[in-house]
A and B are shown apart, each in its own frame.
Chain A
Amino acid sequence: MIDFRTDPARYRHWTLACDGPVATLSLAVDEKGGLAPGYELKMNSYDLGVDIELYDAIQRLRFEHPEVRTVVVTSGRDRVFSAGANIKMLAQSTHQHKVNFCKFTNETRLSIEDASQCSGQRYLCAVNGPAAGGGYELALAADWITMVDDGNTSVALPEVPLLAVLPGTGGLTRLVDKRRVRRDHADFLSTVEEGVKGRRAVDWKLVDEIAPSSGFRDAIARRARALAETSDRPADANGIVLTPLARSLTGDRIDYGTLAIEIDRAARTATLLVKGPEAPAPDAPAAIHAQGTAFWPLALARALDDAVLHLRFNEPAIGVWVLKSEGEPDSVAAYDALLRAHAGDWLVREIVLYWKRTLKRLDVTSRSIFALVEPGSCFGGFLFELVLAADQSFMLDGVLDGDNRPPAAVRLSGMNFGPLPMGNGLTRLQTRFLDDAAAIERAASARDRALDADEAGKLGLVTFTPDDIDWEDEVRIAIEARASYSPDALTGMEANLRMAGPETMETKIFGRLSAWQNWIFQRPNAAGEEGALKLYGTGKRADYKRERV
């Protein structure tokens, strides 16, 4: 089982060192520290285990180090920055592991860009040795790339000539969309194994500056300071400690306290039950800081984040996720209001951004997601985004026989109208009612109050509102039918439908990952017994099928 929970004391590959406003993340991959047997992580190449540590470090930098304004990403090894994802690992992995791995890596790189754009934590990549494939793609996620000009160090995307696949973590997209590299230059780069070094790399915008070996440290220090000056992070705040995330796994039940998951293997479903807060919302940011990871919205975000990753990697056959909630709606609304009222507080900002990223993780998860809104549930404000993230939602109109709780209600708040956008840059409501300003206006005017099934249905906030007579059958049939379809067809269909609206760099990265890269990864030219990926390192030459498709 793959566990995403780690901490710096357990890192095998990364070192995190903080020095005032500048932190340095150094990659020195332990060759023997691969997540699975069968490959050595040579040349600072990485597997999922390396990326799990990177993700953890990025999260800690945000929450534990409000004082850090610039993060320098560099290699802790001589003569190599990183050779990218380990090829032997890719060659021996199942297709679903490769895709999950690429997806998680993409999310981690996007979280670097999110830290810079939204959280004032700038990233500087110090390319102090050759950076190839995913190594260069990691650099591309930074705000600024400084490369050593030693005659040997280059940036390269050798996937096409060497492996018959594509850079799978946004390399091609970031070149042309983010860095505005000319397509002919990007084309050349992507077809030469050895990449581009020195002056030409700057002229082509592949890196931002070069510096000689003797001046490299100074150049990095200078640039780190300059980037730090563009940050709005507080200088005198104390971070909170991301304490170990408690989780119990018993049989088919996973319990985080704030979130409980029940897996039904026969039905191939998982029910995720979100628990509302137990304590009333505090009234000031100081109390949020004091509570740290115990602060309910943060605790729940951490649980949900881990649960999504755990289910993605460790439960691939559980194809339908059913989202439910239980709790006191007014209390949830109070927490929601607190987050909105103190949006300027650095920690509150981090918590809301964490929710944004976790919801995005849900958006790009290849599982069918159904939301069930029942009596006793508490889908309001930021929690209502879960309902909006679902492929379909069901809200019980009335109560079931023998249930003496009041009927279910949902609630909209300012959280549903801006702070939690999807990868396409729009809110989930904007994406739902694409270019329908009237519908959004109707929803906006209904915010901050309880909405029953009838009203929620009329506002278009839920898909179906069966009454107590139909509820059980409708829900059961919908889930059973869903679980019976081809998982591949569903994945493609859902990815298409979830991302309406404009393309962004982010949607392109995920869209192209699923549409092109996954396909190329499956083709015999790459993954067949005589394919380049399988033969890499054996000295044998791939025998390509020459027909273009």
Chain B
Amino acid sequence: MTAISYAERIPNNVNLSEDRRLQRALEHWQPRFIDWWKEMGPVESLAHDVYLRTAVSVEPGGWAHFDYVRMPEYRWGIFLEPAEPGRLIHFGANKGQPAWQEVPGEYRGTLRRIIVTQGDTEPASVEQQRHLGRTCPSLYDLRNLFQVNVEEGRHLWAMVYLLHAHFGRDGREEAEALLVRRSGDRDNPRILGAFNEATPDWLSFYMFTFFTDRDGKFQLCALSESGFDPLARTCRFMLTEEAHHMFVGENGIRRTIQRTCEVMREHRTDDPEEVRRHGVIDLPTIQRYLNFHFSVTVDLFGADVSSNAATFYTAGLKGRYQEGRIGDDHALLGAEYPVLELVDGKLVTRMAPAVNALNERLRDDFIKDTDLGMARWNKVVRSHGIDFAFRTPHKAFNRKIGTFAQVKVDPSGRPLSDAEWAAREREFLPSDEDRAYVQSLMGRVVEPGKFAGWIAPPSKGIEGLPVEFEYVRFN
């Protein structure tokens, strides 16, 4: 099952050639996908030779192959982690039963919705990022952008495979619709709000890949526990690719911080205005970007107390982060989990049924992961002897979904009146002026080994290659 057939039009390890009906359906979808890529993929990129990794196996040791590829010719394929013989559903009311290899009729609608919602984010992010190539800070970064983009495309393939293989006519229609919705389109938007926002500059791109792709990681982790085995196996392999996207984000932010710190040391200043005069992004502005992207992303986890989350878990469709490593009954009978509640304008902790608080729990797992990133960046700041520390905002900050949508708090979680919020919003979130300043730094740098002035070079290149390697060849 793990052998990947590249002789076929659609590389896969699911024996596609033995299922003629499915193969025909996917071969019908493939040209539409390519049309979508040409229309909505990275602008002016069709002829570039890009040094990309392509998935060629699902073996942990050597699953990727690196070489120059023209993106429309990228071998997007269908890869599932090998089946685990005799796998059982390991949580919820169906715990102990054999994992489903076909969709149970009872959960068909719910599973389809989960898969479509996940699938919709993949092309959405490609659309959001399509203009960034014009302002890349280096060839290295441009290549990373394209790598992220083609893999988001492959993740779309992964979800479309599930829709085609398991959901009949409705699945095919949903697969079509995934290519028809457009990020930010008023009439035909992407499903989730955060995926209709623009990614206007590279700092936003790094923030997106650090935070929003990390939401993706946690969602994929939860789905990789699914009792619907094809979904679990698909998501497990997607996670190996997702790791690179988060690396791009964490590293991009770290390099931006490093460059700013270098300039602050060089000019012995911590005045944001002066820092800006030297053409780098001041640390408070970076913190405001962090605040914005963090808050938009934590909304993606959904309502803090949720009937849907409870249903997904009990049915065995979506587990907790690292479900298998948690030492409890995996049914959450009578278990509780703390959630914050708004009482008389104050945030107080109360215990909610754990099975209803699964969104909150996943959000908390995400926040712990985020804190690790913050700590790594703060090490960079400290190593320059600068007295500044990035902070993860409070989870109630700037929320649009759940209990906190009704309350205004500062990034430390202190409740604010509407008037206080209006007066201080600029301290917390990027202003138009901040965004205009960041935008003003975005010039195109494409000479191999050169980097824009606002960002430090990476410590090493891709796959053992030097930083100055020509990662993208323009034709």
Contact = CB atoms under 8 A, between A and B. Distances in A.
Interface of A: 149-152, 161, 192-194, 212-215, 536-541
B9 interface: no
Contacts of B177: 151
B188 A541 contact: no
Contacts of B315: 541
Contacts of A161: 109
Contact of A538 (B113, B188, B356): B356
B315 to A, nearest CB: 7
Nearest to A193: B109
Contacts of A192: 109
Nearest to A194: B109
B188 A536 contact: no
B313 A539 contact: yes
Contacts of B158: none
A288 to B, nearest CB: 48
Given A212-B186, A537-B356, A539-B307, 16 more contacts: A149-B187, A150-B189, A151-B188, A151-B189, A152-B191, A161-B109, A192-B109, A193-B110, A194-B113, A213-B187, A213-B189, A538-B353, A539-B313, A539-B356, A540-B310, A541-B314
A194 B191 CA distance: 15
Interface in B360-401: none
B22 interface: no
Contacts of A213: 186-187, 189
9 contacts: A151-B177, A151-B189, A152-B191, A193-B109, A213-B187, A537-B307, A539-B309, A540-B314, A541-B315
A536 B311 CA distance: 9
Contacts of B307: 536-539
B314 A539 contact: yes
Nearest to A32: B406
B111 to A, nearest CB: 11
A194 B356 CA distance: 21
Interface in B302-361: 307, 309-311, 313-315, 332, 353, 355-356
B181 interface: yes
A540 B189 CA distance: 33
Interface of B: 93, 109-110, 113, 177, 181, 186-189, 191, 307, 309-311, 313-315, 332, 353, 355-356
A538 B186 contact: no
A46 to B, nearest CB: 17
A161 B314 CA distance: 16
B93 A541 contact: yes
A537 B187 contact: no
Nearest to B314: A539
Given A151-B188, A151-B191, A540 B93 contact: yes
Contact of B355 (A150, A194, A538): A538
A214 B186 CA distance: 6
A542 B31 CA distance: 44
A149 B177 CA distance: 13
B288 to A, nearest CB: 26
A332 B313 CA distance: 66
Nearest to B310: A539
A537 B314 CA distance: 11
Contacts of B188: 150-151, 212
B401 to A, nearest CB: 10
A539 B187 contact: no
B310 A537 contact: yes
Given A150-B188, A214-B186, A539 B113 contact: no
A540 B93 CA distance: 8
A152 B191 CA distance: 7
A212 B307 CA distance: 30
Contacts of A536: 307
A213 to B, nearest CB: 5
B356 A150 contact: no
A247 B113 CA distance: 52
Contacts of A538: 307, 310, 353, 355-356
Which of B109, B187, B309 is most buried by chain A, counting CB atoms within 10 A of its CB? Answer: B187
Contacts of B355: 538-539
Contacts of A150: 187-189
Nearest to A42: B303
Contacts of B309: 539
A530 to B, nearest CB: 12
B50 to A, nearest CB: 32
A416 B308 CA distance: 54
A132 to B, nearest CB: 13
B454 to A, nearest CB: 37
A471 B314 CA distance: 66
A275 to B, nearest CB: 49
B215 to A, nearest CB: 19
B187 A212 contact: yes
A194 B174 CA distance: 13
B327 to A, nearest CB: 20
Given A537-B310, A539-B311, A214 B187 contact: yes
Nearest to A88: B307
A539 B311 CA distance: 4
B329 to A, nearest CB: 14
A193 B109 CA distance: 7
Nearest to A200: B173
Contacts of A215: 187
Contacts of B332: 539
A536 B308 CA distance: 10
A43 B302 CA distance: 13
A152 B353 CA distance: 29
Contacts of A537: 307, 310, 356
A194 B117 CA distance: 14
Contacts of B313: 539
Nearest to A537: B307
A87 to B, nearest CB: 8
A53 to B, nearest CB: 22
Which of A192, A193, A538 is most buried by chain B, counting CB atoms within 10 A of its CB? Answer: A538
A151 to B, nearest CB: 6
A213 B113 CA distance: 22
B406 to A, nearest CB: 9
A11 to B, nearest CB: 20
Contacts of B314: 539-541
Contacts of A540: 93, 310, 314
Contacts of B186: 212-214
Nearest to A149: B187
Nearest to A192: B109
A503 to B, nearest CB: 34
B398 to A, nearest CB: 17
Nearest to B313: A539
Contacts of B181: 151
A540 B310 CA distance: 8
Give 7 nearest A-B pairs by CB, closest first. A539-B310, A537-B307, A212-B187, A539-B314, A539-B355, A214-B186, A193-B109
B278 to A, nearest CB: 43
